[in-house]
Amino acid sequence: MHSVIVQRNGRSASADFLHDDLDAVQQIFGGGGDVAAHLVYLYGEQQLDGGRVDIAGGRLPVGTFFASSPLYCNFVNVIFCGNPHPLPVYPGEPDWPAATWGGQARVFVLPTVYVMGGAFQVNPNFGGRSGWNFFEQGTTGLSIPLEVGWTPSFGPDHLLGHYKVGFDNDSSSYPNLFVSTNGLPIAASGLPGQPVHGRRMYYVLVDQMLVRTGKGDTDGIVAFGGFVHADAGISPLENQVFGGVLSSASFMGRPQDSLGFAASWFQVSGGADRNPATRGLAR
């Protein structure tokens, strides 16, 4: 059984000072409902066949299992910590500290190749402010993520790598960012966006250790990068490309510290950019 409860509050420095709520340059700024004890997750996990099969179910964030890497949160931002940003923008792919009902299963079909799939309730309320309202109304659909990964180890120094390809389909309906309910541009009609059934996302994530400096999985120089694409008609962020290099500071006698550099590029959805109501956010 796994459970995490947090207390956190605050405001987004990106929204307050940069007027940009899509590309947040800080990491933690709230999301806990300003309550004393916010439930992040509560779920059970079971490994079978010597760890070849892993199943989990309960209240859990999709981003804890899919499109994730322990490397990303070495950087203090939410551009790709804990997941590349186009994924957790919508409620079908919640990340810490939001959770929903669901389950996942991962099977290593080869010693270094796994297939992972899940099914998760889509409810934008995420258990209310505190996260403890397990049966809150407001379910809009079902999110089905899939991921295939390769985890090789190269050479006598066991240079670890992680290569992932993933897909997610959220069956909920979302408003089109440009076309209104009568088929005209939202700016011309003044009507809400036309409902679109289903939202899809695709991602490719890689990281590879280049030089090993210690025995741990991340003790060395690691290069990483990724690409994420989301449906342009209903997602404010259509594409993201990011990459960087991370190194433990063991060569400075500080193996628990790290040094890194990373950069990210976004393409804002054309629909959001052409809609006056969302253009400010898009820029």
pLDDT band for position 116 (cuts 50, 70, 90): very high
**10 or 149: whose pLDDT is higher?**
149
**Residue-level pLDDT at 281:** 47
CATH number of the CATH domain containing 117: 2.40.160
Alpha-carbon gap, residue 12 to 29, rounded angstroms:
5
Alpha-carbon gap, residue 256 to 88, rounded angstroms:
29
Coil, helix or strand for 275? Answer: coil
Question: Over the chain, what is the mean pLDDT?
Answer: 84
Give the global pTM.
Answer: 0.84
Write down the residue that tokens 């695709």 correspond to.
202
Domain interval for residue 50:
2-282
- pLDDT tens digits along 228-258: 988 877 777 888 899 999 988 777 777 788 8
Residue 282 has pLDDT above 50, yes or no: no
If one counts the domains in the chain, the total is: 1
